């Protein structure tokens, strides 16, 4: 038992890969569910140093269930084969070394999506993303056919009107810029734009509306001291810190130097971003076809946002529903643990040049999702699991009705820990909320997990797929219908 919270309970990694067929089901899996539920999360392989390990830095492991004809045909979990993971498993590196895709040492541990017929394990911060097979084996690094190099993000948004992926990527070596990009339905980048920000922020997510791209330039920035502690020999640390302080967030670091620094740090270590009280907290609103000079910046109260729930245009305002953390990586470098995250609505008034901040629900919650057909459009419903300290999974799922201003709660029995739930409509034309919610729940007493399928309208259980094993606390998942 370690005193590192990310090595205990359901944060602890699993040590085996499984391929299970004909997984037991209670209830009945709706016939319209033909596809895969996939979810990514950190799962360090081998020994890690409990003194430094941070959850965000673990090797990636994707868990998946194939559902068809009311049956659960298989469950698989697979480490994403980064160079380090492949070496530790004694395997050749899939895809060979393809440095142009981004930094190679860390794991793609944050999200998993399908785009243009490819399953992609995603991560942020300049780290390489990986393409997987339908059965979750690693194909190799993904650089969108060579059209987008140097890393991507874990939170692209699919425009429901066009099917294109919009994204904002950050990386400490980019100087004082982040990158907005659009990946076409052919899986190739068709547009990328550098956007000037204040320094080197951790920009985990962004928002997309029908007319705008929204940037969250908030005061969590690259921490030269922590980064050099793990990447530079002790005698050189102070000079290295002075040099890095002078350039990070100001000028672009040549890719080979950035790659060398990051590769020395490796996966399964400390987290190199921290709260920066001198850094202004701002939201940037850019017309979709605009560039850096077209971004309008608006001050907000200092805070951190990992995840907007959704955003939309409303006349001369842009409405942003976000999970707001009062601070991040300040008192507790092993956070997220600097105060409870709550659901807020930020209304950006483009005429008055101000943001109105309003609390919608102060229960601690995270990993908010909406009906993906409404990304960038006005949504009525949003779904978010309750969380505890360090985003430890809680036992309640919150369903927000933002039109009525009410919240319905599905409480699970004590000892149940639930993660993110994703919505899938009953048919492509079903109304909002007519469909199911899917997510993993962990039973502490039995030390195993189920995939739970809920009726989105009433939050009642429709079916449970029973895994004999545990799915550790992780980040993001998605339903991938067959033939998308
Ligand atoms: Fe995220």
Range of the domain at 202: 5-302+422-481
Q: What is the pLDDT of residue 1?
A: 62
Q: What are phi and psi of 407, to 5 degrees?
A: -135, 130
Please tell me the distance between residue 243's alpha carbon and the centre of ligand 1 in angstroms: 31
Please tell me the distance between residue 110's alpha carbon and the centre of ligand 1 in angstroms: 7
Q: What is the pLDDT of residue 112?
A: 98
DSSP 369: B
Please tell me the distance between residue 170's alpha carbon and the centre of ligand 1 in angstroms: 14
Please tell me the distance between residue 393's alpha carbon and the centre of ligand 1 in angstroms: 15
Please tell me the distance between residue 235's alpha carbon and the centre of ligand 1 in angstroms: 36
Whether residue 397 lies inside any domain: the answer is no
Please tell me the distance between residue 308's alpha carbon and the centre of ligand 1 in angstroms: 9
Dihedral sign (CA 98, 483, 19, 418): positive
Reduced to 3 states (helix: H, G, I; strand: E, B; else coil), residue 66 is strand
Whether residue 175 lies inside any domain: the answer is yes
Please report, for residues 136, 206, 220, 279, 482, the alpha-carbon distance to residue 299 in angstroms, rounded to integers and kept in the order given.
42, 16, 15, 11, 43
Whether residue 408 lies inside any domain: the answer is no
- For residue 99, say whether it is annotated as part of any ligand binding site: no
Please tell me the distance between residue 204's alpha carbon and the centre of ligand 1 in angstroms: 6
Please tell me the distance between residue 163's alpha carbon and the centre of ligand 1 in angstroms: 21
Q: What is the pLDDT of residue 260?
A: 56
Please tell me the distance between residue 53's alpha carbon and the centre of ligand 1 in angstroms: 19
Please tell me the distance between residue 309's alpha carbon and the centre of ligand 1 in angstroms: 11
Please tell me the distance between residue 368's alpha carbon and the centre of ligand 1 in angstroms: 9
Number of other CB atoms surrounding residue 122 within 10 Å: 27
* Rounded Cα gap, residues 120 and 114, in angstroms: 6
Please tell me the distance between residue 114's alpha carbon and the centre of ligand 1 in angstroms: 16
DSSP 104: -
Number of domains making up the chain? 1
Please tell me the distance between residue 68's alpha carbon and the centre of ligand 1 in angstroms: 28
Q: What is the pLDDT of residue 258?
A: 63
Whether residue 359 lies inside any domain: the answer is no
Please tell me the distance between residue 322's alpha carbon and the centre of ligand 1 in angstroms: 12
Mean pLDDT, 10 residues at a time, the chain of 484 residues: 87 97 96 97 93 90 98 98 93 77 80 98 94 97 92 97 98 93 98 96 97 98 73 61 68 63 61 92 98 98 98 98 95 85 98 98 97 98 93 91 98 95 97 98 96 98 98 97 85
Dihedral sign (CA 103, 108, 113, 117): positive
* Rounded Cα gap, residues 93 and 356, in angstroms: 50
Whether residue 172 lies inside any domain: the answer is yes
Residue 243: CB partners within 8 Å, gap ≥ 6?
none
Cα–Cα nearest to 63, from 12, 31, 109: 109
* Rounded Cα gap, residues 412 and 293, in angstroms: 49
DSSP 373: G
Whether residue 459 lies inside any domain: the answer is yes
Whether residue 213 lies inside any domain: the answer is yes
Please tell me the distance between residue 201's alpha carbon and the centre of ligand 1 in angstroms: 15
By the 8 A CB rule, do 126 and 102 touch? yes
* Rounded Cα gap, residues 395 and 413, in angstroms: 7
Please tell me the distance between residue 18's alpha carbon and the centre of ligand 1 in angstroms: 25
Please tell me the distance between residue 477's alpha carbon and the centre of ligand 1 in angstroms: 10
Please tell me the distance between residue 328's alpha carbon and the centre of ligand 1 in angstroms: 14
Please tell me the distance between residue 306's alpha carbon and the centre of ligand 1 in angstroms: 6
Q: What is the pLDDT of residue 235?
A: 62
Please tell me the distance between residue 127's alpha carbon and the centre of ligand 1 in angstroms: 15
Please tell me the distance between residue 475's alpha carbon and the centre of ligand 1 in angstroms: 6
Cα–Cα nearest to 151, from 130, 185, 127, 167: 127
Please tell me the distance between residue 90's alpha carbon and the centre of ligand 1 in angstroms: 31
Whether residue 336 is preceded by a cis peptide bond, meaning omega within 30 degrees of 0, is: yes
Please report, for residues 281, 346, 456, the alpha-carbon distance to residue 361 in angstroms, rounded to integers and kept in the order given.
22, 13, 20
Reduced to 3 states (helix: H, G, I; strand: E, B; else coil), residue 157 is strand
* Rounded Cα gap, residues 246 and 125, in angstroms: 20
- For residue 115, say whether it is annotated as part of any ligand binding site: no
Q: What is the pLDDT of residue 98?
A: 62
Q: Where are the alpha helices (DSSP H) in 61-186?
A: 83-89
Whether residue 317 lies inside any domain: the answer is no
Q: What is the pLDDT of residue 394?
A: 86
Helix, strand, coil percent values for the chain (each to nearest 5)? 15, 40, 45
Q: What is the pLDDT of residue 184?
A: 98
Q: What is the pLDDT of residue 103?
A: 74
By the 8 A CB rule, do 59 and 453 touch? no
Q: What is the pLDDT of residue 241?
A: 63
Burial letters 215-244, b for 16+ CB under 10 A, else e? bbbbbbbbbbebbbbbbbeeeeeeebbeeb
Please tell me the distance between residue 305's alpha carbon and the centre of ligand 1 in angstroms: 10
Q: How many residues does the chain have?
A: 484
- For residue 307, say whether it is annotated as part of any ligand binding site: yes
By the 8 A CB rule, do 218 and 198 touch? no
Q: What are phi and psi of 147, to 5 degrees?
A: -95, -15
By the 8 A CB rule, do 74 and 98 touch? no
């Amino acid at each position: 038992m370690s005193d590192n919270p990310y090595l205990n309970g359901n944060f602890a990694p699993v040590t085996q890969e499984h391929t299970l067929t004909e997984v037991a089901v209670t209830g009945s899996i709706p016939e319209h569910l033909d596809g895969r539920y996939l979810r990514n999360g950190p799962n360090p392989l081998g020994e890690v140093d409990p003194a430094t390990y941070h959850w965000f830095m673990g090797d990636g492991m994707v868990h998946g269930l194939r559902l068809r004809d009311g049956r659960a045909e298989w469950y698989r979990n697979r480490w994403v084969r980064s160079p380090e993971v492949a070496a530790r498993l004694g395997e050749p590196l899939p895809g060979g070394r393809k440095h142009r895709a981004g930094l190679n040492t860390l794991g793609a541990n944050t999200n998993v999506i399908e785009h243009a017929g490819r399953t992609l394990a995603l991560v942020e911060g300049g780290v390489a993303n990986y393409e997987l097979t339908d059965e979750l084996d690693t194909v190799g690094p993904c650089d969108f056919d060579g059209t987008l190099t140097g890393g991507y993000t874990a939170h692209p948004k699919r425009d429901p009107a066009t099917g294109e992926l919009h994204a904002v990527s950050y990386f400490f070596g980019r100087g004082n810029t982040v990158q907005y990009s659009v990946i076409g339905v052919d899986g190739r980048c068709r547009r990328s734009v550098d956007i000037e920000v204040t320094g080197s922020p951790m920009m985990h997510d962004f928002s997309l509306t029908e007319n705008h791209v929204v940037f969250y330039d908030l005061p969590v920035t690259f921490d030269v001291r922590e980064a050099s502690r793990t990447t530079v020999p002790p005698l050189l640390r102070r000079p290295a810190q002075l040099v890095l302080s002078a350039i990070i967030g100001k000028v672009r670091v040549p890719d080979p130097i950035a790659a060398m620094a990051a590769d020395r740090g490796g996966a399964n270590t400390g987290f190199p971003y921290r709260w920066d009280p001198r850094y202004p907290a701002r939201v940037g609103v850019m017309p979709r076809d605009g560039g850096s000079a077209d971004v309008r910046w608006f001050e907000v109260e200092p805070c951190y946002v990992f995840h907007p729930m959704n955003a939309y245009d409303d006349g001369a305002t842009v409405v942003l529903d976000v999970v707001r953390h009062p601070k991040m990586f300040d008192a507790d470098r092993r956070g997220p643990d600097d105060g409870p995250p709550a659901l807020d609505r930020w209304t950006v008034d483009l005429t008055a040049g101000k943001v109105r901040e309003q609390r919608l629900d102060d229960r601690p919650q995270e990993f908010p999702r909406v009906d993906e057909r409404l990304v960038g459009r006005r949504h009525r419903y949003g779904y978010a699991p309750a969380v505890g300290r360090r985003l430890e999974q809680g036992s309640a799922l919150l369903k927000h009705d933002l039109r009525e201003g009410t919240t319905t709660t599905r409480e699970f029995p004590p000892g149940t820990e639930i993660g993110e739930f994703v919505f899938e409509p009953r048919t492509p034309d079903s109304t909002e909320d007519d469909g199911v919610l899917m997510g993993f729940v962990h039973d502490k007493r039995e030390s195993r997990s189920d995939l739970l399928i809920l009726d989105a309208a009433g939050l009642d259980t429709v079916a449970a797929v029973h895994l004999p094993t545990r799915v550790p606390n992780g980040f993001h998942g998605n339903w991938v219908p067959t033939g998308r």
